[in-house]
Amino acid sequence: MPIIFDSEKKIFKLDTLSSSYIFKIYDENYLVHLYYGAKIPDYNLTDFEDRRMYASFSASNPNLLRTGFSADVYPLEIGCNGCGDMRIASLQIRNADGNASTDMRYVSHKIYAGKPALKGLPALYANEDSECMTLEITTRDKVTGAEAILIYTVFEKHSALTRSVIIRNTSEKPFTIEKVMSFNLDLIGKDFDLITLYGRHNNERNFERRALAHGRQGIGSRRGSSSAQQNPFMALLRHGATEEYGDAYGFNLVYSCNHLCEIEVDFNESSRIMMGIDPSDFGWLLSPGEEFYSPEAVLVYSNEGLGGMSRTFHKLYNNNLVRGQWKKAKRPLLINNWEGTYFDFDDDKLFNIAKWAKDIGIEMLVMDDGWFGLRNDDRCALGDWTVNENKLRGGIGSLISRIKGLGLKFGIWYEPEMISPDSDLYRAHPDWCIHVPNRDRSQGRWQYVIDMSRQDVRDYLFDKMSEVLAHNDIDYVKWDFNRNITEAGSALLPPERQKEFFHRFILGTYELMDRLTKTYPHLLLENCSGGGGRYDPGMMYFSPQIWCSDNTDALSRVDIQFGSSLCYPASVQGAHVSASSRSGYETKRNVAMWGSFGYELDPAKISKEASEEIRTQIADYHKYYDLIHYGDLYRIISPWEDPYKVAWEFVSEDKSQAMLTVVVKFFKEARNFFIKLKGLDPEKFYKCDHNGEVYSGALLMNAGLSMYHLPDGDGESYVIHLEEVK
Ligand code: GLA
């Protein structure tokens, strides 16, 4: 059983294939955390009290004075503000009488098969109830009548847990939630390194590793999106743990707006870890009888280092996060006109791109920004989602039938959450953009953000998009989001609810995405936010692929893809070959193959030779699609370990084939010519396509494969395929 409750000892034990998570109901109904780490069969952990931590100055519950218990020093499942626990709080409620003392104690629990949906929020799901098990613990603040329901779901086969919290007002008076983190985890010890993914537009998800230090540390976003600057992901690696060995804990928030991922190492050398909505510009007024759902966090433990942790996330997300018709279906190989034409296109130009694309084996044309209103540059028309018939002469229907006539699918770009000051929509509804009264409305890329918290705005967008989507044979939508949110506020919210704005905004976006994907279930949605500014599991719930970065230069992109791979699978990673990229087409292809592959160029501007080279690339993409999308990823040489050369490998689930890619960023004289492969079956024999030799998996993993005769100049790369021979 993945979840057991020992009613005598009052211990909960949550097991996956390789981890155990254990806590107990302590005296006075505190929920005390006992253990999270490698799987253990028993739970005789009560001697943790012998390891009781120093508690002078730390206040105690008056009923527990003799036990030495203090909420300030015991590891707890929920960190309540103001009643003895002086560490960072995971829950803070401003009560009707104005104070913010919060004190949740265990009341009851239930355990059941399956997983509940989270109202209005994306979350992992069970394909069948038997796949996972849920523990719901009701805790209650007896003074205020506030309840916090802690939800734990165990994905046993994937060695993962999800956690979230529901706050319920069972009192007679309203109160304000000032902070609600999706989980609180108190680990004994501070011997960890923190890994996070920082970046910016064009340079997302860089790997950063630092040792934990006393005090508070962490990352977050206050940009109105999960952001390119700090992804809502962090990992803790035990000191000395590596890519393949040692304790690795991964944490990822299923949320696309402001987040906080925080750790406090306290004076007892314990580490409190939490993730949730950033509380600094958040508050939620909860009336009697109402509930508030926190976003969900995903917790993965692996004793196979960072690599094991990543592979767990990848499998979990492919199976239990990505949804819909396109979840496992083969995605069409696409060409997008953005880098090829920018705004300078018309129906004939698109048709010519499509003709070339069809000829070389591409399957879908995506028409990017510039097809609507008077949008001939980025200074206007967002919101005016009406086809520009000067560009698409004869209308979009006519263009689509020409494209479909060639046998290609057709996709279209939208940026629904935006509104240009220079648009008919803004002139008609100046209060529809996010703003606060009497302040300048800051512009980003010449645009404002539309107020997605408003039902009338969402209805307008749905209807407007439906005018195009309902009447035309469209297969794909690229959903973009190209600025941060400033002057956050809604014209419709009363003053006491303005702090709810950011969360209401993203709930509105999720609602519109949900409505669209339910109304048009055949649509393949590709998210984008100036590239990877909302590259998070919340968005992956709606869109099975996300444009990873606007940076399509293969030698830079490869670093972004390595960072992204820490928790996101290759199947969601939009990756294109572009003309602008440094390096030759072979390297561009080899890098873009690590993802949902496509092209982004104007064939009229590339040479005949390049065109012919592209033709040959496409067969390999089809051949190795499943291996890349659903195989196990091994990072062999990562950019954070070696600035000169990177290498990665995919191994099929049955270990019958593997694909090794090496990219030489800069030539280096003193080279190591041997690459040791990973994840193969030591007993199997594999034929290597670059020299025709047959090697055992054991040899390939221990002695390694020589790279001596392979290209090693700046920007060169190669791919080696290994196939089992019986
Ligand atoms: C963003 C996207 C690009 C492209 C442009 C269009 O920058 O990331 O791929 O769609 O918008 O304006």
Residue nearest atom 6 in ligand 1 by C-alpha distance: 369
What confidence category does residue 65 fall into, taking pLDDT thresholds of 50, 70 and 90? confident
- Where does CATH 3.20.20.70 sit in the chain? 334-547
Question: Which residues, listed in sequence order, are joined to residue 335 by a DSSP beta bridge?
Answer: 365, 599
| Res. 54: pLDDT tops 80 | no
Contact in structure between 384 and 447 (CB atoms under 8 Å): no
Pick from 586, 722, 562: which is nearest to 657 by CA? 722
Contact in structure between 483 and 447 (CB atoms under 8 Å): yes
| Res. 49: pLDDT tops 80 | no
Query: Does residue 426 have its Cβ closer than 6 Å to ligand 1?
Result: no
> Exposure pattern of 709-720 as b/e (b: 16+ CB <10 Å)?
ebebeebbbbbb
478 CA to centre of ligand 1 in angstroms: 9
- CATH topology for 633-725 is Immunoglobulin-like (2.60.40)
What pLDDT shows up at residue 227? Answer: 98
* Separation of alpha carbons 683 and 692, rounded Å: 19
Q: What percent of the chain has pLDDT over 70?
A: 98
548 CA to centre of ligand 1 in angstroms: 11
Q: Kindly tell me the sign of the dihedral angle through the C-alpha atoms of 6, 9, 11, 16.
A: negative
550 is catalytic: yes
Residue nearest atom 2 in ligand 1 by C-alpha distance: 530
Residue nearest atom 3 in ligand 1 by C-alpha distance: 530
Query: Does residue 529 have its Cβ closer than 6 Å to ligand 1?
Result: no
Looking at the CA of residue 529, tell me the nearest atom of ligand 1: 8
369 CA to centre of ligand 1 in angstroms: 7
Backbone angles phi, psi at 397, to 5 degrees: -60, -40
Return the ∠ at Cα 4 (arms to 323 and 64), rounded to 5°. 115
Residue nearest atom 8 in ligand 1 by C-alpha distance: 530
Q: What is the CATH number of domain 334-547?
A: 3.20.20.70
Instruction: Find all residues with CB under 8 Å of 247, minimum gap 6, and list them.
Output: 37, 38, 236, 237, 238, 241, 301, 302, 303
What confidence category does residue 68 fall into, taking pLDDT thresholds of 50, 70 and 90? confident
- Weakest mean pLDDT among 38-52, 98-112, 431-445: 38-52
Model confidence pLDDT, tens digit, residues 220-244: 999 999 999 999 999 999 999 999 9
Mutate to test the pocket of ligand 1, among 534, 550, 560, 599 (most ligand atoms within 8 A of CB): 550
What confidence category does residue 336 fall into, taking pLDDT thresholds of 50, 70 and 90? very high
| Res. 218: pLDDT tops 90 | yes
* Separation of alpha carbons 333 and 347, rounded Å: 21
CA of 716: how far to CAs of 481, 495, 609, 706, in Å?
A: 34, 59, 18, 17
- Weakest mean pLDDT among 222-236, 287-301, 461-475, 704-718: 704-718
Model confidence pLDDT, tens digit, residues 7-26: 999 999 999 999 999 999 99
| Strand pairing category for 215-221 and 296-302 | unpaired
| Res. 670: pLDDT tops 70 | no
* Separation of alpha carbons 251 and 228, rounded Å: 17
What confidence category does residue 328 fall into, taking pLDDT thresholds of 50, 70 and 90? very high
Paired tokens of 286: 């909860």
Q: What percent of the chain has pLDDT over 90?
A: 94
Query: Does residue 369 have its Cβ closer than 6 Å to ligand 1?
Result: yes
475 is catalytic: no
Instruction: Find all residues with CB under 8 Å of 401, minimum gap 6, and list them.
Output: none
The CATH classification of domain 3-320, taken from the options 1.10.3720.10, 3.40.50.970, 2.50.20.10, 2.70.98.60 = 2.70.98.60
Paired tokens of 290: 């109402």
Mutate to test the pocket of ligand 1, among 334, 369, 378 (most ligand atoms within 8 A of CB): 369
Neighbours of 90 (CB within 10 A): 31
Question: Pick the catalytic residue: 266, 550, 602, 712?
Answer: 550
549 CA to centre of ligand 1 in angstroms: 10
Residue nearest atom 7 in ligand 1 by C-alpha distance: 530
Query: Does residue 339 have its Cβ closer than 6 Å to ligand 1?
Result: no
Tracing tokens 């009447």 back to the chain, one arrives at: 471
Pick from 258, 236, 70, 271: which is nearest to 179 by CA? 258
| Res. 671: pLDDT tops 90 | no
Q: 708 or 157: which carries more pLDDT confidence?
A: 157
Query: Does residue 528 have its Cβ closer than 6 Å to ligand 1?
Result: yes
| Res. 305: pLDDT tops 90 | yes
Mean pLDDT across 497-511: 98
- Where does CATH 2.60.40.1180 sit in the chain? 633-725
> Exposure pattern of 173-189 as b/e (b: 16+ CB <10 Å)?
eebbbbbbbbbbbbbbe
| Res. 44: pLDDT tops 70 | yes
Query: Does residue 156 have its Cβ closer than 6 Å to ligand 1?
Result: no
- Where does CATH 2.70.98.60 sit in the chain? 3-320
SS3 204: strand
Looking at the CA of residue 600, tell me the nearest atom of ligand 1: 9
What confidence category does residue 284 fall into, taking pLDDT thresholds of 50, 70 and 90? very high
SS3 13: strand
SS3 315: helix
* Separation of alpha carbons 366 and 265, rounded Å: 49
SS3 408: coil
Q: Where are the beta strands (DSSP E) in 492-563?
A: 524-527, 545-547
Query: What single DSSP character describes residue 303?
Result: S
What pLDDT shows up at residue 50? Answer: 58
Model confidence pLDDT, tens digit, residues 289-302: 999 999 999 999 99
Contact in structure between 365 and 357 (CB atoms under 8 Å): yes
Model confidence pLDDT, tens digit, residues 596-614: 999 999 999 999 999 999 9
Query: What single DSSP character describes residue 674?
Result: E
282 CA to centre of ligand 1 in angstroms: 30
Question: Pick the catalytic residue: 347, 475, 480, 712?
Answer: 480
| Res. 29: pLDDT tops 90 | yes
| Res. 438: pLDDT tops 70 | yes
Tracing tokens 């006491």 back to the chain, one arrives at: 496
Tracing tokens 């520009």 back to the chain, one arrives at: 388
Model confidence pLDDT, tens digit, residues 561-592: 999 999 999 999 999 999 987 899 999 999 99
* Separation of alpha carbons 501 and 505, rounded Å: 6
